Amino acid sequence: MMEGRDLVGELPKIVCIVGPTASGKSALAVDLAVRFSGEIVSADSMQIYRGMDIGTAKPDAEEMKKVPHHMIDIADIGDEYSVARFAKDAAKAVDGIINRGALPIVVGGTGLYIDALVRGSGFAAGKRDPKLVTELEKIFDESPEKLHKMLEEIDPKSAMKIGINDKKRLIRAIEVYRETGVTISEHNKKTKDMRRYDACIIGICPKERSELYSRINGRVDRMMRDGLEKEVKELYNSGLLKGTAAQAIGYKEMLKYISGDMTLEQAVEDIKLKSRRYAKRQLTWFRKNTDIFWIEYGKEDTIDRISLISSEYLNKCGII
């Protein structure tokens, strides 16, 4: 594996398809994979968990049959799955695809995961200290503001980027500093010019924000028809739905319905609202990356036309 490799020499070429939730990333990735003998690597922080299928919009059986998919259903729901672990596991999958002579197509909306994979900037993945993690979790549960203040004192730059309620990233940022003496922002600064791969990144999003929101609302309605309520109830009754997974959009809201804190209708509307807000955050993250080639499509555009535009860009980049 090419972990930590710099820009000396030619790096392996990969394709990344990014964008907000419900923008059409998966369909484009599958179409390109079929056209150019590719295999797909998911960069979704929730699709890694087994059993969380409907609410994470995992590829359906037909898509999985058309094209090999990687980094899906690789962890149990209770597992602690870090950015560093993803970068390491996904790099193995990408390198395997390259060695088979196929085209790696990384697709997902978790920008942090994609950055860590492409740039090799995942956090140090040493053995975690359970006592320290428990200590930090207790502080967060008592006062998220207190934990955020702790991060501000050791790493103001990261504190500006990590929200007060982002429990997982807050704990990991403080944990890494305690373990290594190096802040996450310092680590990222040192590794910003280190890359594993030469990535051709395509961003996909509807031209009109109203169209994106309509697609999001429609996706949530389909999830409900496909049995999201049943999926969440089964995971809850089995005792599996906890930790990071229980905070995932769709699951958190349905758990509130199951516990009687809101009606089903309220839960569905809350999922739609949280999904739309998440899409805005995703776009903010990706728009900062000037390396992304954006395809903003209208209602009249088909997946075939979007794929054609993507293919032309991949050709210019020397990918195909």
Domain CATH code at residue 214:
3.40.50.300
Which stretches within the chain are classed as H helix?
Answer: 25-35, 61-66, 83-99, 111-119, 130-142, 144-154, 156-161, 167-180, 184-191, 209-226, 228-237, 251-258, 264-287, 303-316
Q: What phi and psi, each to the nearest 5 degrees, are found at residue 312?
A: -60, -40
Give the pLDDT confidence score for residue 9 in this predicted structure.
47
Task: Mark whether 90 and 184 lie in a shared domain.
Answer: no
- Are 18 and 145 in the same domain? no
Among 191, 213, 230, give the residue marking a domain's end. 191
Residues 6+ apart with CB under 8 A from 81: 45, 48, 49, 75, 244
Q: Is the pLDDT of residue 191 over 70?
A: no
In a shared domain, residues 183 and 196: no
From 191, 213, 234, give the residue that closes a domain: 191
Q: Does some domain include residue 6?
A: no
Range in 126-130, 206-210, 221-225, 308-312 with the lowest mean pLDDT:
126-130
Residue 200 lies in a domain: yes
pLDDT digit string (tens) for 25-42? 999 999 999 999 999 999
**One domain, residues 239 and 310:** yes
Q: Please state the domain count of the chain.
A: 2
DSSP state of 106: E
Residue 287 included in any domain:
yes
In a domain, 4, yes or no: no
**142, 175, 191: which is the final residue of a domain?**
191
244 or 13: which leads in pLDDT:
13
Whether residues 223 and 87 fall in one domain: yes
**Residues 107 and 202 both lie in one domain:** yes
Residue-level pLDDT at 120 = 72
157 and 246 share one domain: no
Per-residue pLDDT, 5: 34
Task: Output the pLDDT for position 194.
Answer: 67
Same domain, 30 and 111: yes
Residue linked to tokens 């979704």: 44
Tell me, yes or no, whether 71 lies in a domain.
yes
**Same domain assignment for residues 154 and 201:** no
pLDDT at 188 over 70: no
Dist. CA 41–CA 220, nearest whole Å: 24
Domain check: are 65 and 136 in the same one?
no
Give the tens place of pLDDT for each residue, 97-156. Answer: 999 999 999 999 999 999 999 987 544 444 567 888 889 999 999 999 999 999 999 999
| 206 vs 181, residue with greater confidence | 206
DSSP characters over 187-246: HHHHHTT--S-EEEEEEEEESSHHHHHHHHHHHHHHHHHHTHHHHHHHHHHTT---GGGG
Shared domain for 140 and 283, answered yes or no, is no
Query: Considering the domain boundaries, does residue 2 fall inside one?
Result: no
**Are both 214 and 186 inside the same structural domain?**
no
Question: Which domain does 102 fall in, by range?
Answer: 13-121+192-316
Q: How confident is the prediction for the chain on average, in pLDDT?
A: 90
